[in-house]
Each structure stands twice: as C-alpha cells, then as structure tokens.
Amino acid sequence: MPSLLALLTAALLASWAPLPTEAGSWWSLAMNPVQRPEMFIIGAQPVCSQLPGLSPGQRKLCQLYQEHMAYIGEGAKTGIRECQHQFRQRRWNCSTVDNTSVFGRVMQIGSRETAFTYAVSAAGVVNAISRACREGELSTCGCSRTARPKDLPRDWLWGGCGDNVEYGYRFAKEFVDAREREKNFAKGSEEQGRVLMNLQNNEAGRRAVYKMADVACKCHGVSGSCSLKTCWLQLAEFRKVGDQLKEKYDSAAAVRVTRRGKLELVNSRFNPPTPEDLVYVDPSPDYCLRNDTTGSLGTQGRLCNKTSEGMDGCALMCCGRGYDQFKSVRVERCHCRFHWCCFVRCRKCAQTVDQFVCK
Ligand SMILES: *[C@@H]1O[C@H](CO)[C@@H](O)[C@H](O)[C@H]1NC(C)=O
Ligand SMILES: *[C@@H]1O[C@H](CO)[C@@H](O)[C@H](O)[C@H]1NC(C)=O
Ligand SMILES: *[C@@H]1O[C@H](CO)[C@@H](O)[C@H](O)[C@H]1NC(C)=O
Ligand SMILES: *[C@@H]1O[C@H](CO)[C@@H](O)[C@H](O)[C@H]1NC(C)=O
C-alpha cells in the first residue's frame, strides 16, 4: 500500500512539474555576444560548450570553425531584425521572448511564420559569412572566386574582391542544417515532416541570398571617364532578401508528409514547390490572444492604426476587441533653415498625436 508520504510527494512533484522547456536554438547566438576570435585561447574548448542552443553537430562545427561563430551570431541577428521589420505590422511580429529558444514555443508549430523565420535566419548566416570571407576575417575563405559572367562586356575587368557567397552558402548549409540532419525520426512521422519542412525553408533562405547576389562595378580612368571598369560579385542589400522571402511567405505552400517520408502538397492543384519556395505543415496558431500552450503573445497592448484597413489597422490587429486611445507627444525637427554656408539649423517642435492600442 502506498504510504501517505509517497502520495504527497507524488502530488507535489506533479504540481511542481515545470512546463516542458523549449529546446534551445542556434538563434541564441544572436542574443548573447560571441567572443571574437582574438580572444579565444588556442586549444581551449570551453567557448563552444558554453554557447547555449547548439546541437551536438553544431557544437562540433563550432570547435572546428570557432572564428565563424561570431559571424553566425551576427547573421542570426540580421535575420531576426529583418523578420521584425517584415512583420512589424502583423499580429505575430517576430518578437523574441528569451535568450535560449529566442522566439519561444510558437516555433514548435510548423506554421508559415515559422517557415519564414527559418528561411530568413539561414539567409542571415549566408550573408554574414560571405561578407566575412571578403573582409578577410576568416582563415578558411577569401574573396569570391566565381567565374567571370559570360555577359560582362569584354573590356571590363573581372577581379575585384567579391563577397564569397559560394562559401557562405556551403557553410550555412553545414551549420544550420546540422541540427535537422542529426535527428532520426521514423519515415512518414509528423516529426520527420517537420524536419523536411525546416530543411526546405533553410534552403529557400540560403538560395535567396545566393541568387540575389549580383555583379557590381567601379569606374576607373582619367577624370571619371570610366574607360576602365572593375567588377566583382556583391551581396544584395539584406532588405531586398527580406522582401523576397516575405513574398515567398505570402505564397507559401501547405504540405504534409507521405508514408514514404516525402513532402506533398495538401492541395495538389497547385504547382509543386521549387527549392526557392517556403512550405509549412501546420496551420498558424491564433495570434490574437495570449496562449502559453502555443506561445502566442497576443495583440493586447499593440499599437494600431485607426484609419488603416490593413493588418496594422485596429480592426484586424485587435481582433475585434476594440482599442484604447491615448495622446502622446512626438518631438520633431521643424522650421529648418539653411545657413550659408553650409549647415541646416532646426528647432524642435512638440506635437500631440493620437495613438491607439489594442484592448
Ligand atoms: C539575455 O542576454 C543578454 C546579453 O547577454 C542579457 O543582457 C539579458 O539580460 C538576457 N536576458 C534574459 C531574459 O536572460
Ligand atoms: C491555447 O491554444 C490551444 C491550442 O490551439 C487551445 O486548445 C487552448 O484552448 C488555448 N488556450 C487558451 C487559454 O486560449
Ligand atoms: C511585438 O508584439 C509584442 C507582443 O504583443 C509587443 O510586446 C511588442 O512591443 C511588439 N513589438 C513591436 C515592435 O511592435
Ligand atoms: C494609418 O493608415 C493610413 C491608411 O493606410 C495611412 O495613410 C497613415 O499614414 C497611417 N498612419 C500611421 C501613423 O501609420
């Protein structure tokens, strides 16, 4: 017969059982500054074991490529910032909630938003590593060695030091996908479907950076005559990559895993996704209300636009709950005058503006 003490202990343990903790993610490299290479002690390993959120495979890569870690962190940060820009006017706004899981439980749902987040952060890593190579920050890569484009005019020189997107792409693939590749779920299981989804979206993000890198040129020659041009490969502005991936988000395809362990479209009338497309396996959770199970933060307290009919408008943003109005003071530069020569002097004007926040 179980003793009273045992029963009590069991009851206490049950009530104390913590919520299942979210797995850490390499995204956490964006939240905690990674030590720069010159601060590493040769042969010392603790750097990698102290970085939270890495999977075993990523930890090994960290040991092999320690000097890359700061740039992976930078790439993740760039990706997160871009995600927050693209979603600033939406119910889910890509906000970070902690330093280990970074986005919290919402990423456990294989939604469209999760798809975008994986893609844009993988893109951030390609971007950061490609640039670091060009800047000579990494010992394993240098300037791009892409072949001269065939359509480049014959008298233009090819040979400026370009962003190394080939290396950035390959390294990001190794590192970002490592976590997915080391999982071993049964073929056709839901978990395997999610792994395939992550891999597809990581790839779409990397390809966006790769494909959008373009030729840039500089003029030389006597007094700007531009008789001579030197050209090289250059990354696109990351904002453009974000815009492109946002379009992919809008056209993302709902997929499911087959018994054979492949993804297939839920609606077979659509074109199958290409490697550049985003896919998702789960419907989005309700982002209107706070829900600790799904990790949704809800839209209470979010600023909204009273006159907009879009997602940033109070009607949609507040999900019909209504909004509160308050006045806030905005200080702006005003009455600016040009002074000869050459500066502009402004005054500061305070303006009262109406603001609206969701109930
Ligand atoms: C996250 O990390 C940053 C930098 O290391 C630190 O300032 C901040 O307090 C941490 N936040 C939490 C919630 O632990
Ligand atoms: C939270 O979301 C889950 C899953 O959608 C749902 O079943 C549950 O009722 C929600 N909880 C609250 C408090 O809204
Ligand atoms: C994003 O949403 C969260 C939760 O509703 C809110 O706390 C945060 O202020 C929002 N961020 C921006 C930039 O609007
Ligand atoms: C609110 O939305 C309207 C209509 O879309 C727009 O013209 C206006 O600039 C927006 N106001 C703010 C403060 O964003």
pLDDT value, residue 16: 41
**pLDDT value, residue 235:** 97
pLDDT tens, 287-298? Answer: 999 999 999 999
Residue owning the nearest CA to atom 5 of ligand 1: 32
| 284 in contact with ligand 2, CB cutoff 6 A | no
Å from CA of 350 to ligand 3 middle: 25
pLDDT at 109: 96
Ligand nearest to the CA of 50: 1
- Ligand 2 centroid to Cα of residue 240, in Å, is 36
Tell which CATH classification among 3.40.50.150, 3.30.2460.20, 3.40.190.10, 1.20.1260.10 matches the domain 300-358: 3.30.2460.20
**What pLDDT is attached to residue 181?**
93
Distance 85 CA to ligand 3 centre (A): 12
Q: How far is the CA of 106 from the centre of ligand 2 (A)?
A: 13
Ligand 4 environment, Cβ below 6 A? 305, 307-308
Q: Is 3 in the pocket of ligand 2 (CB under 6 A)?
A: no
Centre of ligand 4 from the C-alpha of residue 308, in Å: 6
pLDDT score at 48: 86
| pTM given for the model | 0.88
- Number of helices and strands in the chain (H, E): 9, 11
pLDDT beneath 70, residues of the chain: 1-22, 35-46
The Cα–Cα gap between 336 and 334 comes to: 5
Residues of each domain in the chain carrying CATH 3.30.2460.20:
300-358
CB of 298 within 8 A of CB of 273?
no
Counting every residue written for the chain, the total comes to 359
End-to-end CA distance of the chain: 53
C-alpha separations of 186 from 189, 195, 259, 262 in Å: 6, 11, 10, 12
* Ligand 1 contact, 32 CB (< 6 A): yes
Kind plus residue range of the DSSP H or E element containing 177: helix 165-181
- The finding on whether 294 has its CB within 6 A of some atom of ligand 2 is yes
CA separation, residue 308 to residues 83, 164, 299, 311, 327 (Å): 22, 43, 16, 8, 18
Q: How far apart are CA 325 and CA 356, in angstroms?
A: 5
358 Cα: distance to centroid of ligand 3 (angstroms) = 11
